[in-house]
């Protein structure tokens, strides 16, 4: 009896693992991740393609709102330009200053002094020089990022992360009209992102998705490689799609589109043995993809993927 129970349990575990592999193979691994500006933590509107809406975000670098998913509430704050000191910190400046401090503390603990050691008078002078240079660099970076924030989101290197319109003087989101060329761009990105994923072509993905989404794709591809596996997506066919919502906020255009498509989703190991999926049987997927671009003009980039409910 015990042997039968053990065998049954093992069979269920294997079946579940195979199902999990099938569901989590394509780009995004069947999860919900990314950022949608101030609407990251709000539910997209239902559509004919996705009548029950989308699953909540599981991973995002956008600040989380206090209200629950799908509930109206305060818009997600932008980094900086906030009345509270804790909200005005910039993540890059925080990381840079933390790294400087961490390097100094590590040097002191290891007996080499702050950032390389203090050996006599010349070592002390060198220490002062290093501190002086660090202060200059930090002040320059602080001025640079403050200027970028105050000057709006139109700078070439900036990208919105949870940017929102609120009472702090930023522009409230407004409705955006999406045309035929935009829909064609969305379909093209759907196909090309799947191709770049299958080729493990990170540089190509960087030209089609936001840095946040590329980081998620890179992590997922790295996890596959660490297991000695590779996922290849082929024969991707767009079946149906419609617009859930489109808006403009803080100098960026956003569009969330419900997409249903079919694909061959196959995961193999280094020997070519099939780990999950099929090389002949397509699967049908319904997801909501959010795209972003500068309002001043530019190409659309994938900024979020959410699973349909």
- pLDDT tens per residue, range 237-293: 999 999 999 999 999 999 999 999 999 999 999 999 999 999 999 999 999 999 999
Same domain, residue pair 184 and 233: yes
User: How far is it, in rounded angstroms, from Cα 48 to Cα 236?
Assistant: 21
Q: What is the CATH number of the domain that holds 222?
A: 3.10.450.240
- pLDDT tens per residue, range 8-41: 444 444 443 444 344 457 999 899 999 999 999 9
Pairing of strands 283-294, 301-307: antiparallel
Same domain, residue pair 189 and 120: no
User: How far is it, in rounded angstroms, from Cα 40 to Cα 56?
Assistant: 9
Query: Which residues, in sequence order, are CB contacts of 95 under 8 Å at separation 6+?
Result: none
Cα 256 from chain centre:
15
Length of the chain: 309
pLDDT of residue 135: 61
**Axis crossing angle, helix 120-150 with helix 91-109, rounded to the nearest 10:** 170
Domain count along the chain: 2
Same domain, residue pair 144 and 259: no
pLDDT-derived band at 220 (thresholds 50, 70, 90) equals very high
- Structural domain contains residue 245: yes
Same domain, residue pair 146 and 227: no
Same domain, residue pair 146 and 187: no
Domain's final residue, options 150, 184, 206: 150
Share of the chain above pLDDT 70, in %: 57
Same domain, residue pair 104 and 229: no
Tokens 């704050």, located at residue: 77
Same domain, residue pair 233 and 102: no
Range of the structural domain that residue 294 is part of: 32-71+170-307
Q: State the pTM of this model.
A: 0.64
Tokens 């993905």, located at residue: 205
Same domain, residue pair 50 and 191: yes
Same domain, residue pair 175 and 271: yes
pLDDT higher at 139 or 70: 139
């Amino acid at each position: 009896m015990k042997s039968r129970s053990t065998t049954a349990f093992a069979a269920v575990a294997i079946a579940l693992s195979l199902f999990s592999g099938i569901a989590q193979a394509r780009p995004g691994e069947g999860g919900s991740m990314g950022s949608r500006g101030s609407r990251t933590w709000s539910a997209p509107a239902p559509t004919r393609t996705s009548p029950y809406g989308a699953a909540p975000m599981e991973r995002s670098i956008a600040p989380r709102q206090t209200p629950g998913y799908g509930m109206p509430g305060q818009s997600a704050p932008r980094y900086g330009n906030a009345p509270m000191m804790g909200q005005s910190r910039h993540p890059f400046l925080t990381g840079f200053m933390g790294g400087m401090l961490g390097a100094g503390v590590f040097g002191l603990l290891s007996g080499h002094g702050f950032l390389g050691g203090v050996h006599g008078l010349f070592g002390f002078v060198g220490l002062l020089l290093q501190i002086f240079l660090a202060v200059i660099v930090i002040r320059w970076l602080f001025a640079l990022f403050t200027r970028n924030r105050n000057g709006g989101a139109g700078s070439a290197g900036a990208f919105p992360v949870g940017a929102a319109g609120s009472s702090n003087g930023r522009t409230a989101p407004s409705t955006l009209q999406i045309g035929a060329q935009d829909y064609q761009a969305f379909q093209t990105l759907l196909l090309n992102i799947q191709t770049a994923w299958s080729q493990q072509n990170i540089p190509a993905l960087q030209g089609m998705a936001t840095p946040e989404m590329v980081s998620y794709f890179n992590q997922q591809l790295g996890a596959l490689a660490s297991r000695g596996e590779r996922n290849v997506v082929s024969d991707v066919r767009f079946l149906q799609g419609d617009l859930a919502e489109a808006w403009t906020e803080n100098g960026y255009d956003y569009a969330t589109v419900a997409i249903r498509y079919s694909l061959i989703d196959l995961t193999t190991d280094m020997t070519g043995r099939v780990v999950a999926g099929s090389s002949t049987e397509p699967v049908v997927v319904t997801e909501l993809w959010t795209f972003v671009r500068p309002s001043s003009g530019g190409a659309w980039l994938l900024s979020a993927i959410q699973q349909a409910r």
